[in-house]
Amino acid sequence: MNTATTTADQTITLDAGFLPRRSAFDWIFALLVAAGGLYAFVQYAQYMDVYEKGILLGAIPAAIWLAWFWPSLRVLMLAVAGFAAGDLLVPGANWRARIRSSG
């Protein structure tokens, strides 16, 4: 017979759950990813079919989950996003014309 007994002098301590263990940087990263994904969805949803919309909406929590469990990937994602945004801000890059001509 399996029984669990405890005495009065034993203390059971529970570890913090998954979400309370997240740092402030984790939550800021999650907000940035969610905001970027939702911005892309709002801007380009009319050009996507239902499968592409599902992939984009599924990539948001997947990117957050990967970054929470693999912190070095979070740094890489932020660096790549920073370089991409920096390229769009370069004067004279004429990226809008390149996007229109490639489509």
Percentage of the chain with pLDDT > 70? 80
On the question of pLDDT at 103 being above 70, the answer is no
How far is the C-alpha of 35 from the C-alpha of 41, rounded, in Å?
10
pLDDT grade, residue 22 (50/70/90)? confident
In a domain, 16, yes or no: no
pLDDT at position 58 is 97
Residue-wise pLDDT tens digits, 36-53:
999 999 999 999 999 999
3 state DSSP class of 79: helix
In a domain, 86, yes or no: yes
pTM above 0.85, yes or no: no
Q: How many domains does the chain have?
A: 1
Give how far Cα 100 sits from Cα of 34, 95, 96, 97, Å: 26, 9, 6, 5
How far is the C-alpha of 57 from the C-alpha of 67, rounded, in Å?
16
Answer positive or negative: Cα dihedral of 84, 76, 103, 51.
Answer: negative
Residue 48: domain span: 24-102
pLDDT at position 20 is 78
